[in-house]
Amino acid sequence: MKKTAISVFAFIILASCVSKKKYVALEQEKGEVVSELTKTKVEKEELEAKFAKIEARVSDYNAKINSLVADNEGLQIENDSKLDISPDGTVASKLTKQQMRNTLTKVDSYKLSQAKTLKDSMNLAVEYSLNRVIDTSSLNEDEDISVNINETVVMISISDKMLFNTGSYRLSNKANGILQKLADVINSEPSIDVMVEGHTDARSISTAKVSDNWDLSVLRATSVVRKLQNSFGVAPEKLIASGRSSYQPLTDNDSREGRSKNRRTRIILLPNIDKFFALMASN
């Protein structure tokens, strides 16, 4: 019995020693795990800091790239808009030349073969585009109205009897119909400016309100411009009023018929070339 009790006590002591060793080992292992975890946490924080720096550098580089791209686009636009003077004296931007070349692909090949200079080519391109977008056929009512395309302009000549009473700069009632049609033509093309020229015959005039033919020609042009603006909605910034007096006659002033032809109002449609070709390209 005594021997058995000693054996049990020895087993308990031995078991206690084994458990303590395991405990110490587990504590040591725990310490190593905690140390490794701390090390991993520190490395993670360092990596996060490095990644944040890399992200900042990438954002900075992207901003610089976007800035360079914007600068390059700005320089390209500026270069395309820069005006060049050709040997024949024609002024046009690089963009206008490109748009003009696109238009010329649609022009009659024979006409195109006759174009020797940039000015010739530009005239062909403008004529083609004007014929396409502006329907002036409604203005060809009779011999008192004529429409011609000459180089880069459309010229509409209207006899004074269609617009004015003899010796007067006040518009007659019958002027409304033709000026309405004219306004429709002008308003159909936003890129066009309009010059209104008054022309007289060579007979002198002097009244309380009109000093001479210069005065009459300018007053008639101004009357037409005001009517186009106030009654038919033509933008005033597109309009130019001018007078030629009797110094650009169509024929001699020796006959009644000749004087009648020379008394006229000429409407000149002047396309802004850059805006005109840009508009044609968008259609």
pLDDT per position as a tens digit, 116-152: 776 667 666 666 665 665 555 555 555 677 777 665 6
pLDDT tens-place string over residues 48-100: 888 788 877 777 767 777 666 555 544 444 444 444 444 444 444 565 666 66
pLDDT tens-place string over residues 219-267: 999 999 999 999 999 999 999 999 999 999 999 999 999 999 999 999 9
| Contact between 265 and 181 (Cβ < 8 Å) | no
Which residues partner with 269 through β-bridges? 154, 194
Nearest-Å Rg of the Cα atoms of the chain is 44
Rounded CA separation 46/28 (Å): 27
280 pLDDT band, cuts 50/70/90, is: low
Mean pLDDT, to the nearest integer, of 15-30?
66
Q: CB neighbours of 228 closer than 8 A, spacing ≥ 6?
A: 179, 182, 183, 186, 194, 196, 234, 239
Query: Which tokens belong to 65?
Result: 């790239």
Owner of token pair 């009517």: 227
198 pLDDT band, cuts 50/70/90, is: very high
Chain-centre distance of CA 249, in angstroms? Answer: 39
pLDDT tens-place string over residues 145-175: 777 766 567 788 889 888 998 788 999 988 8
